[in-house]
Every structure is written in structure tokens, then in C-alpha cells.
Amino acid sequence: MKLDLSSFVCFLVFFKVEAQHSQSYKNYVDAFILKDSIMINDTFSNGFPKEAGKKLIYVYDDYVYEFFAGSFVQYDKKGRVITDSQFDDYGNYLSYKYFDTEGNLLESIDVKSIDTNAKTVDEFMANSFKETKVLATKKVYRYSYKRCEYYLRKVGMIENFKKVGHWKFYDEEGMLEKEKSF
């Protein structure tokens, strides 16, 4: 049975290149056996690139899992970069950047740590989203019509896609506008 978990795991966690995997997380992924890799170089019908990257194929307990690994870039139909992501070898984001059609950065996420509460590998695989805790820094940029440029609007930590901790909001001039705790 071939099970494509890449799309599930892609939305599961965000990492930064120096993100710290907990020892418990490392213990679970060490159970996977690397079998193959697939290069992705899809194009639109007009010849422009659609997405580029690679997937690693692992086997665990009679199941096959595919995970994005390394650099993965998605493009629009005119060949412009829309997302630029870095993944670890198990499909977890290390970093994620989202751009508008002019190449301006709109959002970035950099993961600081990942951990799991699962007690067994089977429990981890059966419900990895529920059992995984991911801590990341998120930055959101906004366009200033007054200054005719993009600026950092807000920055803070997220845990499993939810705002946590102390967030800072900035005005168009880069001055701290407000702070909020979640």
C-alpha cells in the first residue's frame, strides 16, 4: 500500500534550518528506512515551471511514505516564484516564504523546535499532527501605500499554527504600534 503523507506532513510542521529536533522525535524517525527519492520538475502547459524539488521515499511497518525533502519551490503560470520552502528529510518545513507576483515577501515562517508526545512509533504515525509540537517564528509583511514599499507588520511565535506568546505589531514607519499576548 502506497500512502502519500507528504501533503499531510507538509502542513504539519514548520522548521528553520537550525531547528532542533527533540530526542524523542529523532527516535521515531530513525525507524524509517530510506528506499528511494523522486525529483520533481513539473511544468505548466506553457513550458514555465510549476514546482521543483524532491521527495524521499521511506518504508516503515509494511507502509510506504513519501516526504518532501530539501528545497521545494512553487511557481505561478508566468514562472514567478510563489513559495520557496526548505524541508528536512521527513517532510517538515525548515523554512517557508510566500511571495506576491512581483516577488515581494508577504509571509515567512522559521521553525525553532519540534517535539512529539507520542509514546510509540505507531502512535506517532497514527496521529502525528496531534502528537507533534512545533514552535516557529512567523513574520507578516504589508504594503504601505504611503511609503510605496513593504514593511514588517507583525512578528511573533506560533505553536502548531496558532499564535502563542508575545506578538509585536508595527506601523508603516517601523514603529511599534502595539503588543499582544496569546
> For 42-86, how does the pLDDT look when each residue is reduced to its tens digit (9 = 90+)?
999 999 999 999 999 999 888 898 999 999 999 999 999 999 999
pLDDT in tens, 106-132: 999 999 988 888 888 888 777 777 777
For residue 114, the enclosing domain spans: 2-131
The whole-angstrom separation of Cα 144 and Cα 51 is 30
The answer to whether residue 32 sits within a structural domain is yes
The answer to whether residue 79 sits within a structural domain is yes
Phi, psi of 92 (to 5 degrees): -95, 135
The answer to whether residue 182 sits within a structural domain is no
The answer to whether residue 73 sits within a structural domain is yes
The answer to whether residue 173 sits within a structural domain is no
Supply 173's cell numbers: 514607519
The answer to whether residue 23 sits within a structural domain is yes
Q: How many domains does the chain have?
A: 1
The answer to whether residue 138 sits within a structural domain is no
Q: Which regions of the chain does DSSP assign to beta strands (E)?
A: 2-3, 20-21, 33-43, 49-60, 63-75, 81-87, 93-99, 105-116, 132-144, 149-159, 162-170, 176-181
Supply 113's cell numbers: 523546535
The answer to whether residue 157 sits within a structural domain is no
pLDDT of residue 181: 97
pLDDT in tens, 6-46: 433 443 433 334 457 888 888 878 888 999 999 999 999 99
Vertex 35: Cα angle to 29 and 39 (nearest 5): 100
The pTM of the full predicted model, rounded to 2 decimals, is 0.80
